[in-house]
Amino acid sequence: MKLYYAPGACSLADHIALIESKLPFTTDKVDLKARTTAEGEDYTAVNPKGYVPALGLDAGGVLTENVAILGYIADRVGNLMPQGPLGRFRALEALAYISTELHKSFAPFFKPGSSDEAKSAAKTQLGKRFGLFEDALASQEFALGDQFGVADCYLFVMLFWAREKVGLDLPPNLSSYYERLSQRAAIQQALAEEGLGD
Ligand SMILES: N[C@@H](CCC(=O)N[C@@H](CS)C(=O)NCC(=O)O)C(=O)O
């Protein structure tokens, strides 16, 4: 597999998940402005959507969208989503929430020319949407229970942005969760490989 990523973008979630999965993979860094990759590919030919992430599959073809890529990785290994008959649906439920309710709420912080008003409204919305995980983390170690999984990979990136891009003060449970995850080997490795380590 080959992960197409941009440093510190949402593709960091997939990068972390791939390291956690211990499946073999390579990476290719995408220049999102030029739409080319470090290995010299035309990125629009890889992913006509033009954005990261994209995952080149061993059997051929390319998978896009964080929810699908993270779900695919979790399905391949089985230990990155909750167990039980509803486990994969709990993972999809969390990934969909993170994608649509958290990830998209960061838009004003990435879009050039966004007004202070739009940023302030987004900050308020993010604070509310993170509340679901703040409450859950009062009684469990990870986003979906006591086992690390793909939802944590994605939630980590949202918290990384909340700290780095928005300057959001994280409530106590999320703050200690973020500090714990920051010490995790796969997360440190992914950050270092993207040039974002300490
Ligand atoms: N719906 C997509 C959104 C991916 C996305 O927002 N990618 C951003 C980086 S976090 C990007 O590549 N933006 C550059 C662009 O759109 O040109 C997914 O969840 O995978």
pLDDT tens digits for range 99-135: 999 999 999 999 999 999 999 999 999 999 999 999 9
CA-based torsion, 29, 76, 177, 66: positive or negative: positive
Question: Which residue shows structure tokens 């170690």?
Answer: 141
Q: Find the mean pLDDT for residues 45-60.
A: 98
pLDDT of residue 198: 74
Instruction: List residues bridging with 145 in a β-sheet.
Output: 142
Query: Three-state DSSP class for 189?
Result: helix
Report which residue type is found at 162.
Answer: A
Report how far residue 16's alpha carbon sits from residue 152's, in angstroms, rounded to the nearest whole number. 10
Angle, helices 116-136/150-161, rounded to nearest 10 degrees: 140
> Which residue of 52, 99, 105, 160 sits with most ligand 1 atoms within 8 Å of its CB, as the best mutation to test the pocket?
52
At 175, the pLDDT band (50, 70, 90 cuts) reads very high
179-190: b (≥16 Cβ within 10 Å) or e = eebeebebbbeb
Question: Which residue shows structure tokens 């940023």?
Answer: 119
- 155 CA distance to ligand 1 middle (Å): 15
* Residue 10 CA, closest ligand 1 atom number: 10
Q: Find the mean pLDDT for residues 143-152.
A: 98
Report how far residue 153's alpha carbon sits from residue 167's, in angstroms, rounded to the nearest whole number. 20
Beta carbons of 151 and 88 less than 8 angstroms apart: no
How many CB atoms are located within 10 Å of the residue 73 CB?
Answer: 26
* Residue 110 CA, closest ligand 1 atom number: 13
At 46, the pLDDT band (50, 70, 90 cuts) reads very high
- 2-77+187-193 sits in which CATH class? alpha beta
At 165, the pLDDT band (50, 70, 90 cuts) reads confident
Q: Where are the domains of the chain?
A: 2-77+187-193, 87-184
Enter the tokens of residue 24. Answer: 């073999």
131-148: b (≥16 Cβ within 10 Å) or e = eebbebbeeeebbbbebb
Q: Into which CATH architecture does domain 87-184 fall? A: Up-down Bundle (1.20)
- 146 CA distance to ligand 1 middle (Å): 29
- 46 CA distance to ligand 1 middle (Å): 14
Q: Is the CB of 41 under 6 A from ligand 1?
A: no
> Which residue of 3, 4, 5, 10 sits with most ligand 1 atoms within 8 Å of its CB, as the best mutation to test the pocket?
10
Q: Is the CB of 66 under 6 A from ligand 1?
A: yes
- 84 CA distance to ligand 1 middle (Å): 31
At 197, the pLDDT band (50, 70, 90 cuts) reads confident
pLDDT of residue 24: 98
Give the mean pLDDT of the chain: 97
